Amino acid sequence: MIRAYQEMYLSKAQSVIGDAFNYAVNTCGIPGTDFVKLFLASSVSKRLENGEPACLAGKSGIEIVREILKETTGKELQIQPQEHFGRSKEYWIGWAIAYYQWYSDRKYNDIFNALSFEDLQQMYYTLHEADITKFVDIADSKIKEYYPETNLKRIRTTYGFTQTELAKRSGVSLRSIQMYGQRNKNINKASVDTIYKLARALGCTMENLIER
């Protein structure tokens, strides 16, 4: 599976985003839901999605928050950080979301559409001491509920192809296309040849058809 960026930057991303959420909510008093909106509206979230070293390696979570506020509201934030021991709920939210974004290679905007800040607060109590893979499994299920269409169906309908037309263009059986589109068969387990034929017919990459 394709990840958002090199794993060597993952730990740094988690700590930076965890610190950013903790500082924004617990020190600056910004409601979590409001900070998520500011985070998504900023260019910072896009740079973090790509694992840009200049954004990750060169900035602290506090600097990230100040940059977000400056860019989105025009305000200079000078509130000094407070000492905190251990992980706060907000730190865990940023830490876990950063991991899932790297793992799934999804946009932060897509993730927060399916997982609200309130959802994540509730998850904290049962998941903050669990292995991160448990959070990944729950996040995956939330994503699939929010985005019920498979990538294959979404891309096919965007191009205006019926299932029958795609079967003729790709050489993949109509029944298989129907099964993949309805999640009755997992396209991730299809042969490379099948995915290649579908991608070529749709004018997209093979990775675009993989479900994350």
Helices (H), 30-131: 32-41, 43-49, 53-56, 61-73, 89-104, 108-114, 117-127
Contact 207, 3 (CB under 8 A): no
pLDDT for 2 equals: 65
**Whole-number Cα distances in Å, 180 to 51, 157, 170, 173, 197:** 32, 14, 14, 11, 14
DSSP state of 191: -
pLDDT at 51 over 60: yes
Q: Where residue 165 falls among pLDDT bands split at 50, 70, 90?
A: very high
Is the model more confident about 18 or about 84? 18
Residue 183 has a CB neighbour count (10 Å cut-off) of: 15
Mean local confidence (pLDDT), 11-23: 95
pLDDT at 85 over 70: no
Domain positions in the chain: 7-146, 151-209
Distance CA 113, CA 98 (A): 15
Is the model more confident about 179 or about 42? 42
Distance CA 123, CA 58 (A): 30
Name the pTM for this structure: 0.75
pLDDT for 54 equals: 85
The tally of CA atoms less than 13 A away on the side-chain side of residue 184 is 7
What is residue 51's three-state secondary structure?
coil
pLDDT for 130 equals: 96
Taking Cα atoms as reference points, which of 169, 145, 143 lies closest to residue 155?
A: 169
pLDDT for 1 equals: 55
Domain 151-209, CATH among 3.30.1490.190, 1.10.1040.10, 3.50.50.60, 1.10.260.40: 1.10.260.40
Amino acid at 109: N
Q: Where residue 84 falls among pLDDT bands split at 50, 70, 90?
A: low
Amino acid at 206: M
Q: Read off the pLDDT of residues 106-125 as tens digits, 9 standing for 90 and up.
A: 889 989 999 999 999 999 99
Sequence-distant (≥ 6) Cβ neighbours of residue 208 within 8 angstroms: 151, 155, 199, 202
Is the model more confident about 186 or about 102? 102
Distance CA 36, CA 33 (A): 5
**Residue tagged 């498979």 (tokens):** 150
Contact 184, 158 (CB under 8 A): no
Mean pLDDT rounded to a whole number for the chain: 91
